[in-house]
Copies of this chain bind each other. A is one copy, B any other.
Amino acid sequence: MFEATKVGRTVSKEDFKEQRDELRTQLLEVQRALRDTNITVLVIVSGVEAAGKGEVVNRLNEWLDTRGVQTFAFWEFSDEEQERPRYWRFWRTLPPRGEIAILFGGWYLAPIEHRFRGLCDDAALDAELARIVDFERMLTQDGTLIVKFWFHLSEADQKRRLKELSRDDRSRWKMLPEKSKFSEQYQAFEFVAERVIRQSDRGIAPWYLVEAEDKRYRDLTVGKTLLQAIRARLAQAVPSEPAPTADPLELPTTPSAQITLLDQLDMTQALTKDDYKKQLAALQAEVNELAWRAYKFKRSPVLVFEGVDAGGKGGAIRRITSAVDARLYRAIPIAAPTDEEKAHHYLWRFWRHLPRAGHMIIYDRSWYGRVLVERVEGFASDDEWRRAYAEINDFEEQLVENGAILLKFWLHVSEDEQLRRFQDREQTPYKQYKITDEDWRNREKWPEYKAAVNEMVARTSTRHAPWTLVEGDIKQFARIKVLRTLCERLRTALAEDKGGEAIGSGIARCGDGRPGK
Protein backbone atom coordinates (compact mmCIF):
# COMPACT_ATOMS: atom_id res chain seq x y z
CA MET A 1 0.00 0.00 0.00
CA PHE A 2 2.75 2.45 0.85
CA GLU A 3 5.04 1.71 -2.07
CA ALA A 4 3.70 4.68 -4.00
CA THR A 5 4.76 7.00 -1.21
CA LYS A 6 8.42 6.11 -1.55
CA VAL A 7 9.16 6.98 -5.14
CA GLY A 8 10.98 10.24 -4.52
CA ARG A 9 8.62 12.85 -5.88
CA THR A 10 9.82 16.44 -5.65
CA VAL A 11 8.88 19.98 -6.60
CA SER A 12 11.48 22.65 -7.32
CA LYS A 13 11.56 25.93 -5.44
CA GLU A 14 10.53 27.89 -8.52
CA ASP A 15 7.66 25.61 -9.41
CA PHE A 16 6.48 25.72 -5.83
CA LYS A 17 6.38 29.51 -5.75
CA GLU A 18 4.54 29.71 -9.00
CA GLN A 19 1.92 27.13 -8.17
CA ARG A 20 1.53 28.24 -4.59
CA ASP A 21 0.31 31.71 -5.40
CA GLU A 22 -2.38 30.44 -7.69
CA LEU A 23 -3.36 27.76 -5.20
CA ARG A 24 -3.74 30.25 -2.35
CA THR A 25 -6.07 32.40 -4.39
CA GLN A 26 -8.15 29.39 -5.31
CA LEU A 27 -8.26 28.08 -1.76
CA LEU A 28 -9.50 31.43 -0.50
CA GLU A 29 -12.15 31.42 -3.20
CA VAL A 30 -13.54 28.00 -2.36
CA GLN A 31 -13.35 28.78 1.33
CA ARG A 32 -15.50 31.81 0.72
CA ALA A 33 -17.96 29.84 -1.39
CA LEU A 34 -18.11 27.26 1.40
CA ARG A 35 -19.31 29.82 3.87
CA ASP A 36 -22.71 30.14 2.25
CA THR A 37 -23.35 26.41 2.15
CA ASN A 38 -24.41 23.70 4.54
CA ILE A 39 -21.10 21.94 4.13
CA THR A 40 -18.67 21.31 6.97
CA VAL A 41 -15.11 20.32 6.06
CA LEU A 42 -13.05 18.03 8.26
CA VAL A 43 -9.40 17.57 7.37
CA ILE A 44 -7.66 14.74 9.18
CA VAL A 45 -3.89 14.93 9.28
CA SER A 46 -2.28 11.58 10.08
CA GLY A 47 0.82 9.63 9.30
CA VAL A 48 4.11 8.33 10.52
CA GLU A 49 6.15 10.20 13.10
CA ALA A 50 8.34 13.00 11.78
CA ALA A 51 6.46 13.28 8.50
CA GLY A 52 5.83 16.94 9.24
CA LYS A 53 2.17 16.93 10.16
CA GLY A 54 2.60 20.11 12.17
CA GLU A 55 4.26 21.81 9.23
CA VAL A 56 1.43 20.84 6.92
CA VAL A 57 -1.13 22.25 9.31
CA ASN A 58 0.79 25.48 9.66
CA ARG A 59 0.93 25.72 5.89
CA LEU A 60 -2.82 25.29 5.62
CA ASN A 61 -3.34 27.92 8.28
CA GLU A 62 -1.12 30.24 6.29
CA TRP A 63 -2.95 29.63 3.02
CA LEU A 64 -6.50 29.63 4.29
CA ASP A 65 -8.42 32.50 5.81
CA THR A 66 -8.09 31.78 9.52
CA ARG A 67 -11.60 33.07 9.98
CA GLY A 68 -13.42 29.82 9.39
CA VAL A 69 -10.65 27.33 10.20
CA GLN A 70 -10.08 25.71 13.57
CA THR A 71 -7.30 23.30 14.39
CA PHE A 72 -7.65 20.64 17.07
CA ALA A 73 -5.01 18.46 18.61
CA PHE A 74 -6.02 15.75 21.01
CA TRP A 75 -3.84 15.99 24.07
CA GLU A 76 -4.25 13.94 27.17
CA PHE A 77 -7.88 13.56 28.18
CA SER A 78 -9.15 16.26 30.53
CA ASP A 79 -11.18 14.85 33.37
CA GLU A 80 -14.29 16.33 31.82
CA GLU A 81 -13.55 14.27 28.71
CA GLN A 82 -12.68 11.16 30.66
CA GLU A 83 -16.03 11.17 32.36
CA ARG A 84 -18.03 11.21 29.17
CA PRO A 85 -18.37 8.79 26.24
CA ARG A 86 -15.18 8.67 24.29
CA TYR A 87 -16.46 10.45 21.18
CA TRP A 88 -17.58 13.49 23.19
CA ARG A 89 -14.19 15.07 22.61
CA PHE A 90 -14.65 14.71 18.86
CA TRP A 91 -18.19 16.05 18.85
CA ARG A 92 -16.84 19.08 20.71
CA THR A 93 -14.56 19.86 17.78
CA LEU A 94 -17.08 19.57 14.96
CA PRO A 95 -17.29 23.01 13.34
CA PRO A 96 -20.53 24.64 12.25
CA ARG A 97 -21.64 24.44 8.64
CA GLY A 98 -19.61 26.53 6.26
CA GLU A 99 -16.40 26.12 8.23
CA ILE A 100 -13.31 23.93 8.27
CA ALA A 101 -11.71 21.96 11.08
CA ILE A 102 -8.27 20.43 10.90
CA LEU A 103 -7.80 17.51 13.27
CA PHE A 104 -4.45 16.08 14.24
CA GLY A 105 -5.01 12.35 14.04
CA GLY A 106 -8.67 12.66 14.96
CA TRP A 107 -10.38 9.40 15.88
CA TYR A 108 -7.57 7.40 14.26
CA LEU A 109 -4.89 8.36 16.72
CA ALA A 110 -5.88 6.15 19.63
CA PRO A 111 -6.76 2.94 17.72
CA ILE A 112 -3.50 3.02 15.77
CA GLU A 113 -1.47 3.62 18.88
CA HIS A 114 -3.29 0.93 20.84
CA ARG A 115 -2.87 -1.71 18.22
CA PHE A 116 0.75 -0.71 17.63
CA ARG A 117 1.51 -1.06 21.31
CA GLY A 118 -0.27 -4.37 21.49
CA LEU A 119 -2.98 -3.11 23.84
CA CYS A 120 -5.70 -4.65 21.66
CA ASP A 121 -5.90 -7.32 18.98
CA ASP A 122 -6.93 -7.13 15.35
CA ALA A 123 -10.53 -7.99 16.11
CA ALA A 124 -10.85 -5.13 18.57
CA LEU A 125 -9.20 -2.83 16.07
CA ASP A 126 -11.63 -3.91 13.37
CA ALA A 127 -14.59 -3.30 15.67
CA GLU A 128 -13.37 0.20 16.34
CA LEU A 129 -12.81 0.83 12.65
CA ALA A 130 -16.36 -0.26 11.93
CA ARG A 131 -17.54 2.37 14.39
CA ILE A 132 -15.37 4.97 12.72
CA VAL A 133 -16.79 4.13 9.32
CA ASP A 134 -20.31 4.50 10.71
CA PHE A 135 -19.41 7.79 12.33
CA GLU A 136 -17.88 9.18 9.16
CA ARG A 137 -20.79 8.00 7.07
CA MET A 138 -23.21 9.68 9.42
CA LEU A 139 -21.34 12.98 9.21
CA THR A 140 -20.99 12.72 5.46
CA GLN A 141 -24.68 12.11 4.98
CA ASP A 142 -25.28 15.20 7.05
CA GLY A 143 -23.24 17.29 4.62
CA THR A 144 -19.73 16.99 6.02
CA LEU A 145 -16.80 16.62 3.65
CA ILE A 146 -14.11 14.46 5.25
CA VAL A 147 -10.63 14.59 3.72
CA LYS A 148 -8.08 12.28 5.31
CA PHE A 149 -4.36 12.65 4.66
CA TRP A 150 -1.77 10.05 5.55
CA PHE A 151 1.84 11.25 5.38
CA HIS A 152 4.43 8.58 4.85
CA LEU A 153 8.20 8.25 4.79
CA SER A 154 10.48 5.46 3.74
CA GLU A 155 12.30 3.67 6.51
CA ALA A 156 15.58 5.41 5.78
CA ASP A 157 13.98 8.84 5.57
CA GLN A 158 12.07 8.43 8.77
CA LYS A 159 15.11 7.19 10.64
CA ARG A 160 17.12 10.16 9.48
CA ARG A 161 14.42 12.65 10.40
CA LEU A 162 13.88 11.19 13.82
CA LYS A 163 17.59 11.48 14.46
CA GLU A 164 17.52 15.11 13.44
CA LEU A 165 14.52 15.74 15.63
CA SER A 166 16.14 14.12 18.62
CA ARG A 167 18.63 16.94 18.58
CA ASP A 168 15.88 19.48 18.36
CA ASP A 169 14.39 20.82 21.54
CA ARG A 170 10.95 21.03 20.03
CA SER A 171 10.71 17.31 19.57
CA ARG A 172 10.21 16.67 23.25
CA TRP A 173 6.57 15.78 22.82
CA LYS A 174 7.27 13.25 20.08
CA MET A 175 7.56 9.53 20.56
CA LEU A 176 10.90 8.24 19.44
CA PRO A 177 11.19 4.55 18.61
CA GLU A 178 14.05 2.82 20.31
CA LYS A 179 16.82 2.83 17.80
CA SER A 180 17.93 -0.73 18.19
CA LYS A 181 14.65 -2.14 16.99
CA PHE A 182 13.83 0.63 14.57
CA SER A 183 13.38 -1.48 11.48
CA GLU A 184 11.11 -3.89 13.28
CA GLN A 185 9.01 -1.06 14.67
CA TYR A 186 8.79 0.64 11.32
CA GLN A 187 7.34 -2.47 9.77
CA ALA A 188 4.97 -3.12 12.64
CA PHE A 189 3.67 0.41 12.38
CA GLU A 190 3.18 0.11 8.64
CA PHE A 191 1.30 -3.10 9.20
CA VAL A 192 -1.16 -1.44 11.58
CA ALA A 193 -1.47 1.66 9.44
CA GLU A 194 -2.29 -0.40 6.40
CA ARG A 195 -5.04 -2.27 8.20
CA VAL A 196 -6.51 0.99 9.49
CA ILE A 197 -6.40 2.72 6.14
CA ARG A 198 -7.73 -0.24 4.22
CA GLN A 199 -10.72 -0.67 6.46
CA SER A 200 -11.59 3.00 6.74
CA ASP A 201 -10.99 3.98 3.14
CA ARG A 202 -14.50 4.51 1.90
CA GLY A 203 -15.55 6.35 -1.22
CA ILE A 204 -17.41 8.88 0.87
CA ALA A 205 -14.41 9.63 3.09
CA PRO A 206 -11.27 8.53 1.26
CA TRP A 207 -7.72 8.46 2.48
CA TYR A 208 -5.06 10.30 0.52
CA LEU A 209 -1.56 8.89 0.91
CA VAL A 210 1.10 11.54 0.53
CA GLU A 211 4.84 11.08 0.18
CA ALA A 212 6.25 13.36 2.85
CA GLU A 213 9.96 13.50 2.12
CA ASP A 214 9.92 16.58 -0.11
CA LYS A 215 8.15 19.35 1.79
CA ARG A 216 7.24 21.38 -1.25
CA TYR A 217 5.72 18.38 -2.98
CA ARG A 218 3.92 17.41 0.22
CA ASP A 219 2.39 20.81 0.90
CA LEU A 220 1.38 21.57 -2.66
CA THR A 221 -0.22 18.15 -2.98
CA VAL A 222 -2.21 18.64 0.18
CA GLY A 223 -3.36 22.09 -0.87
CA LYS A 224 -4.39 20.98 -4.32
CA THR A 225 -6.13 17.86 -3.11
CA LEU A 226 -8.09 19.80 -0.53
CA LEU A 227 -8.99 22.40 -3.14
CA GLN A 228 -10.18 19.72 -5.52
CA ALA A 229 -12.18 17.91 -2.85
CA ILE A 230 -13.99 21.06 -1.76
CA ARG A 231 -14.64 22.09 -5.36
CA ALA A 232 -16.11 18.72 -6.16
CA ARG A 233 -18.36 18.85 -3.14
CA LEU A 234 -19.50 22.38 -3.91
CA ALA A 235 -20.45 21.23 -7.39
CA GLN A 236 -22.12 18.02 -6.44
CA ALA A 237 -23.80 18.27 -3.03
CA VAL A 238 -23.77 15.28 -0.71
CA PRO A 239 -22.46 12.15 -2.42
CA SER A 240 -25.14 9.65 -3.08
CA GLU A 241 -25.05 6.38 -1.23
CA PRO A 242 -27.62 3.67 -1.59
CA ALA A 243 -30.60 4.96 0.33
CA PRO A 244 -31.20 3.26 3.66
CA THR A 245 -33.51 0.36 3.08
CA ALA A 246 -35.25 0.60 6.42
CA ASP A 247 -38.64 1.11 4.84
CA PRO A 248 -41.57 0.69 7.17
CA LEU A 249 -43.34 -2.63 6.82
CA GLU A 250 -46.04 -2.75 4.17
CA LEU A 251 -49.11 -3.85 6.05
CA PRO A 252 -52.20 -5.72 4.90
CA THR A 253 -55.10 -3.31 4.97
CA THR A 254 -57.25 -5.18 7.44
CA PRO A 255 -57.40 -3.34 10.78
CA SER A 256 -56.39 -6.46 12.70
CA ALA A 257 -53.09 -6.43 10.82
CA GLN A 258 -52.40 -2.86 11.90
CA ILE A 259 -52.50 -3.27 15.63
CA THR A 260 -49.56 -1.54 17.29
CA LEU A 261 -47.83 -2.00 20.59
CA LEU A 262 -49.75 1.01 21.79
CA ASP A 263 -53.09 -0.70 21.18
CA GLN A 264 -52.10 -3.43 23.56
CA LEU A 265 -51.67 -1.14 26.52
CA ASP A 266 -54.24 -1.63 29.25
CA MET A 267 -55.21 1.95 29.95
CA THR A 268 -57.63 1.10 32.74
CA GLN A 269 -54.99 0.28 35.33
CA ALA A 270 -55.62 2.41 38.37
CA LEU A 271 -54.40 3.09 41.85
CA THR A 272 -56.26 4.17 44.96
CA LYS A 273 -55.29 7.54 46.35
CA ASP A 274 -53.83 5.92 49.45
CA ASP A 275 -51.78 3.41 47.50
CA TYR A 276 -50.53 6.21 45.29
CA LYS A 277 -49.40 8.35 48.21
CA LYS A 278 -47.74 5.47 49.99
CA GLN A 279 -45.92 4.15 46.96
CA LEU A 280 -44.94 7.61 45.81
CA ALA A 281 -43.30 8.44 49.12
CA ALA A 282 -41.42 5.15 49.23
CA LEU A 283 -40.24 5.32 45.63
CA GLN A 284 -39.20 8.96 45.89
CA ALA A 285 -37.08 8.20 48.90
CA GLU A 286 -35.53 5.24 47.10
CA VAL A 287 -34.80 7.09 43.88
CA ASN A 288 -32.86 9.72 45.78
CA GLU A 289 -30.83 7.03 47.51
CA LEU A 290 -30.13 5.38 44.20
CA ALA A 291 -29.16 8.66 42.58
CA TRP A 292 -26.53 9.16 45.27
CA ARG A 293 -25.38 5.59 44.77
CA ALA A 294 -25.09 6.17 41.01
CA TYR A 295 -23.07 9.30 41.74
CA LYS A 296 -20.74 7.36 43.97
CA PHE A 297 -20.28 4.67 41.34
CA LYS A 298 -19.89 7.28 38.58
CA ARG A 299 -22.72 5.79 36.54
CA SER A 300 -24.97 8.39 34.97
CA PRO A 301 -28.68 7.66 34.82
CA VAL A 302 -29.86 8.97 31.44
CA LEU A 303 -33.63 9.31 31.23
CA VAL A 304 -35.51 9.95 28.02
CA PHE A 305 -39.12 11.05 28.07
CA GLU A 306 -41.23 10.97 24.95
CA GLY A 307 -44.98 10.74 24.62
CA VAL A 308 -48.13 12.08 23.05
CA ASP A 309 -49.09 15.68 23.75
CA ALA A 310 -50.67 15.94 27.19
CA GLY A 311 -49.35 12.46 27.92
CA GLY A 312 -48.11 13.51 31.35
CA LYS A 313 -44.36 13.80 30.71
CA GLY A 314 -44.04 16.95 32.78
CA GLY A 315 -45.84 15.49 35.78
CA ALA A 316 -43.82 12.29 35.69
CA ILE A 317 -40.55 14.20 35.41
CA ARG A 318 -41.52 16.46 38.28
CA ARG A 319 -42.10 13.45 40.54
CA ILE A 320 -38.47 12.53 39.95
CA THR A 321 -36.89 15.97 40.09
CA SER A 322 -38.68 16.91 43.28
CA ALA A 323 -37.28 13.78 44.93
CA VAL A 324 -33.70 13.69 43.74
CA ASP A 325 -31.13 16.03 45.21
CA ALA A 326 -30.96 18.99 42.87
CA ARG A 327 -27.17 18.84 42.88
CA LEU A 328 -27.34 15.49 41.14
CA TYR A 329 -29.50 15.92 38.08
CA ARG A 330 -30.11 18.20 35.17
CA ALA A 331 -33.38 18.33 33.22
CA ILE A 332 -32.95 19.34 29.58
CA PRO A 333 -36.10 20.39 27.78
CA ILE A 334 -35.73 19.93 24.05
CA ALA A 335 -37.44 22.73 22.19
CA ALA A 336 -36.55 24.38 18.90
CA PRO A 337 -32.81 24.19 18.24
CA THR A 338 -30.70 27.34 18.50
CA ASP A 339 -28.88 28.50 15.41
CA GLU A 340 -25.64 27.03 16.71
CA GLU A 341 -27.41 23.71 17.06
CA LYS A 342 -28.94 23.96 13.61
CA ALA A 343 -25.44 24.44 12.22
CA HIS A 344 -24.46 20.93 13.34
CA HIS A 345 -25.59 17.34 13.00
CA TYR A 346 -28.88 16.85 14.85
CA LEU A 347 -27.23 14.67 17.51
CA TRP A 348 -24.75 17.43 18.40
CA ARG A 349 -27.20 19.19 20.68
CA PHE A 350 -27.59 16.03 22.75
CA TRP A 351 -23.90 15.27 22.90
CA ARG A 352 -23.15 18.75 24.18
CA HIS A 353 -25.35 18.32 27.25
CA LEU A 354 -24.00 14.94 28.32
CA PRO A 355 -23.28 15.04 32.03
CA ARG A 356 -20.10 14.08 33.80
CA ALA A 357 -20.04 10.52 35.05
CA GLY A 358 -22.39 9.94 37.95
CA HIS A 359 -24.77 12.82 37.27
CA MET A 360 -28.33 12.17 36.18
CA ILE A 361 -29.72 13.76 33.05
CA ILE A 362 -33.36 13.91 32.09
CA TYR A 363 -34.27 14.70 28.49
CA ASP A 364 -37.80 16.07 28.13
CA ARG A 365 -38.19 15.05 24.50
CA SER A 366 -35.03 13.87 22.84
CA TRP A 367 -33.18 12.65 19.77
CA TYR A 368 -36.25 10.51 19.05
CA GLY A 369 -37.88 13.63 17.65
CA ARG A 370 -36.08 12.66 14.45
CA VAL A 371 -38.17 9.50 13.99
CA LEU A 372 -41.36 10.91 15.52
CA VAL A 373 -42.40 14.49 14.86
CA GLU A 374 -39.78 15.12 12.18
CA ARG A 375 -40.82 11.97 10.35
CA VAL A 376 -44.55 12.49 10.63
CA GLU A 377 -44.48 16.20 9.86
CA GLY A 378 -41.98 15.81 7.07
CA PHE A 379 -39.29 18.00 8.69
CA ALA A 380 -36.78 15.23 8.06
CA SER A 381 -36.46 13.63 4.64
CA ASP A 382 -37.21 9.94 4.28
CA ASP A 383 -33.52 9.17 4.06
CA GLU A 384 -32.81 11.19 7.15
CA TRP A 385 -35.27 9.57 9.50
CA ARG A 386 -34.67 6.08 8.15
CA ARG A 387 -30.99 6.18 8.83
CA ALA A 388 -31.62 7.79 12.22
CA TYR A 389 -32.46 4.44 13.86
CA ALA A 390 -28.94 3.16 13.37
CA GLU A 391 -27.43 6.52 14.35
CA ILE A 392 -29.47 6.55 17.54
CA ASN A 393 -28.63 2.96 18.44
CA ASP A 394 -24.96 3.72 18.03
CA PHE A 395 -25.21 6.88 20.12
CA GLU A 396 -26.95 5.00 22.91
CA GLU A 397 -24.44 2.18 22.74
CA GLN A 398 -21.70 4.70 23.38
CA LEU A 399 -23.55 6.08 26.37
CA VAL A 400 -23.95 2.62 27.83
CA GLU A 401 -20.34 1.71 27.16
CA ASN A 402 -19.38 4.70 29.22
CA GLY A 403 -21.41 3.45 32.17
CA ALA A 404 -24.67 5.30 31.59
CA ILE A 405 -27.86 3.62 32.76
CA LEU A 406 -30.28 4.47 30.00
CA LEU A 407 -34.07 4.45 30.38
CA LYS A 408 -36.58 5.50 27.77
CA PHE A 409 -40.21 6.18 28.57
CA TRP A 410 -43.09 6.58 26.17
CA LEU A 411 -46.04 8.16 27.95
CA HIS A 412 -49.22 7.23 26.21
CA VAL A 413 -52.83 8.27 26.61
CA SER A 414 -55.90 7.25 24.65
CA GLU A 415 -57.42 9.62 22.13
CA ASP A 416 -60.38 10.24 24.38
CA GLU A 417 -58.26 11.05 27.39
CA GLN A 418 -56.11 13.40 25.35
CA LEU A 419 -59.23 15.22 24.19
CA ARG A 420 -60.34 15.63 27.81
CA ARG A 421 -56.95 17.03 28.77
CA PHE A 422 -56.84 19.43 25.86
CA GLN A 423 -60.27 20.77 26.81
CA ASP A 424 -59.20 21.05 30.43
CA ARG A 425 -56.15 23.03 29.40
CA GLU A 426 -58.25 25.40 27.35
CA GLN A 427 -60.51 26.04 30.30
CA THR A 428 -57.90 26.48 33.03
CA PRO A 429 -56.33 29.92 32.88
CA TYR A 430 -52.80 28.97 33.88
CA LYS A 431 -52.79 25.95 31.60
CA GLN A 432 -53.84 27.74 28.45
CA TYR A 433 -50.31 28.36 27.31
CA LYS A 434 -49.77 24.62 27.21
CA ILE A 435 -52.25 24.13 24.38
CA THR A 436 -51.75 25.42 20.87
CA ASP A 437 -53.23 24.95 17.43
CA GLU A 438 -50.34 22.66 16.72
CA ASP A 439 -51.53 20.25 19.39
CA TRP A 440 -54.92 20.03 17.71
CA ARG A 441 -53.29 19.50 14.33
CA ASN A 442 -51.06 16.74 15.71
CA ARG A 443 -54.17 14.95 16.94
CA GLU A 444 -55.34 14.51 13.39
CA LYS A 445 -52.22 12.52 12.64
CA TRP A 446 -52.81 10.04 15.46
CA PRO A 447 -52.49 6.94 13.23
CA GLU A 448 -49.24 8.16 11.70
CA TYR A 449 -47.80 8.85 15.13
CA LYS A 450 -48.85 5.41 16.32
CA ALA A 451 -47.14 3.77 13.39
CA ALA A 452 -44.00 5.84 14.01
CA VAL A 453 -43.93 4.88 17.68
CA ASN A 454 -44.44 1.23 16.85
CA GLU A 455 -41.50 1.26 14.45
CA MET A 456 -39.36 3.30 16.83
CA VAL A 457 -39.81 0.73 19.57
CA ALA A 458 -39.20 -2.13 17.16
CA ARG A 459 -35.93 -0.65 15.97
CA THR A 460 -34.51 0.99 19.07
CA SER A 461 -35.65 -0.98 22.10
CA THR A 462 -32.47 -2.84 22.84
CA ARG A 463 -31.32 -4.90 25.77
CA HIS A 464 -29.05 -2.14 27.02
CA ALA A 465 -31.53 0.63 26.27
CA PRO A 466 -35.09 -0.67 26.45
CA TRP A 467 -38.26 1.36 25.97
CA THR A 468 -40.87 1.37 28.68
CA LEU A 469 -44.38 2.05 27.43
CA VAL A 470 -46.41 3.77 30.11
CA GLU A 471 -50.20 3.59 30.27
CA GLY A 472 -50.98 7.22 31.00
CA ASP A 473 -54.75 7.60 31.14
CA ILE A 474 -54.59 7.49 34.91
CA LYS A 475 -51.83 9.88 35.91
CA GLN A 476 -51.13 8.37 39.29
CA PHE A 477 -50.62 4.94 37.80
CA ALA A 478 -48.28 6.35 35.16
CA ARG A 479 -46.13 8.25 37.63
CA ILE A 480 -45.73 5.24 39.87
CA LYS A 481 -44.87 3.03 36.92
CA VAL A 482 -42.16 5.44 35.80
CA LEU A 483 -40.68 5.73 39.28
CA ARG A 484 -40.85 2.00 39.92
CA THR A 485 -39.23 1.15 36.60
CA LEU A 486 -36.51 3.70 37.28
CA CYS A 487 -35.81 2.36 40.76
CA GLU A 488 -35.75 -1.26 39.63
CA ARG A 489 -33.40 -0.49 36.80
CA LEU A 490 -31.02 1.55 38.94
CA ARG A 491 -31.11 -1.00 41.71
CA THR A 492 -30.16 -3.83 39.35
CA ALA A 493 -27.53 -1.86 37.50
CA LEU A 494 -25.89 -0.56 40.63
CA ALA A 495 -25.95 -3.92 42.37
CA GLU A 496 -23.70 -5.26 39.62
CA ASP A 497 -21.18 -2.68 40.59
CA LYS A 498 -19.90 -4.18 43.76
CA GLY A 499 -16.60 -2.47 43.21
CA GLY A 500 -18.08 0.91 42.58
CA GLU A 501 -16.53 1.29 39.15
CA ALA A 502 -18.09 2.27 35.87
CA ILE A 503 -18.19 -0.86 33.76
CA GLY A 504 -20.69 -0.09 31.09
CA SER A 505 -21.19 -2.98 28.76
CA GLY A 506 -17.92 -4.49 29.79
CA ILE A 507 -16.64 -4.43 26.22
CA ALA A 508 -13.13 -3.05 26.16
CA ARG A 509 -12.72 -1.19 22.91
CA CYS A 510 -9.62 -0.53 20.97
CA GLY A 511 -8.91 3.18 21.03
CA ASP A 512 -10.27 3.79 24.47
CA GLY A 513 -7.19 5.52 25.70
CA ARG A 514 -8.64 6.90 28.86
CA PRO A 515 -6.74 6.18 32.00
CA GLY A 516 -8.39 3.83 34.42
CA LYS A 517 -10.33 2.09 31.71
Interface, chain A (partner B; CB < 8 A): 25, 28-29, 32, 54, 57-59, 61-62, 65-71, 73, 75, 78-80, 102, 104, 169-170, 288-289, 292, 314, 317-318, 321-327, 330-331, 333, 335, 338-340, 356, 364, 429-430, 433
Contact = CB atoms under 8 A, between A and B. Distances in A.
B66 A326 contact: no
A364 B54 contact: no
The 8 residue pairs across chains A and B that have the minimum distance between CB atoms: A67-B333, A73-B327, A62-B322, A57-B326, A71-B326, A66-B331, A25-B430, A339-B339
Nearest to A285: B170
Contact of A54 (B62, B102, B326, B430): B326
B430 A314 contact: no
B58 A322 contact: yes
Given A67-B335, A67-B364, A78-B80, A325 B433 contact: no
A494 B35 CA distance: 39
Contacts of A429: 25
The count of identical subunits is: 2
Nearest to A327: B73
Contacts of A333: 66-68
Contacts of A318: 61-62, 66
A314 B338 CA distance: 30
Contact of A314 (B66, B80, B288, B335): B66
18 contacts: A25-B430, A57-B326, A58-B321, A58-B322, A59-B322, A61-B331, A62-B321, A66-B321, A66-B333, A67-B335, A75-B327, A78-B356, A79-B79, A80-B80, A102-B326, A169-B289, A170-B289, A339-B340
A57 to B, nearest CB: 4
A169 B325 CA distance: 13
A71 B340 CA distance: 23
A70 B330 contact: yes
Contacts of A292: 170
A169 B288 CA distance: 11
A66 B59 CA distance: 49
Contacts of A433: 32
